[in-house]
């Protein structure tokens, strides 16, 4: 059963190509402009960060820094979160407010995978 599922996932990956030349040549975005270009050309066509009326959702903050995310969340109750574009991977960062802010990377270069030790992806 696992082999069938694995083969189906691989076939799907080959049938849907959401990669860009930057993604192929580098594991990390070279600069902020490349991140914005990747988001505009790849993710917006998937309606990432938009509601059913193509309006931005409250939790998506685009290209803001880790520090800006922490400042925004410091004004919100524990349990609040936001999603922002990452400059470290082709993907996103989930910033979460607990007693202190925590940040989790989501690699979007081949589907969506939560990165980091101890995370199930």
- pLDDT tens by residue, 13-32: 554 444 444 333 347 999 99
pLDDT over threshold 80, residue 8 = no
Q: What is the pLDDT of residue 10?
A: 62
Among residues 41, 15, 33, 28, the alpha carbon closest in space to that of 91 is found at 28
The domain in which residue 24 lies consists of 2-114
pLDDT over threshold 90, residue 42 = yes
Is residue 89, in this structure, part of any structural domain at all?
yes
Please count the structural domains in the chain: 1
Better-scored residue on pLDDT, 101 or 11 = 101
Is residue 120, in this structure, part of any structural domain at all?
no
Provide the CATH number for the domain around residue 54.
Answer: 3.30.505.10
Among residues 87, 30, 92, the alpha carbon closest in space to that of 61 is found at 92
pLDDT over threshold 90, residue 66 = yes
Is residue 119, in this structure, part of any structural domain at all?
no
pTM: 0.72
């Amino acid at each position: 059963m696992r082999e069938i599922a694995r083969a189906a996932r691989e076939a799907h990956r080959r049938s849907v190509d959401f990669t860009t030349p930057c993604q192929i040549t580098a594991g990390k975005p070279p600069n902020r402009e490349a991140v914005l270009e990747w988001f505009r050309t790849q993710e917006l066509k998937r309606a990432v960060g938009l509601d059913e009326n193509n309006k931005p959702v409250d939790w998506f903050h685009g290209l803001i820094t880790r520090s800006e995310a922490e400042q925004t969340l410091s004004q919100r109750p524990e349990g609040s979160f936001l999603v922002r574009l990452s400059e470290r991977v082709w993907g996103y960062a989930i910033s979460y407010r607990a007693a202190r802010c925590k940040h989790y990377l989501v690699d979007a270069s081949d589907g969506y995978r939560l990165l980091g030790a101890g995370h199930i992806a």
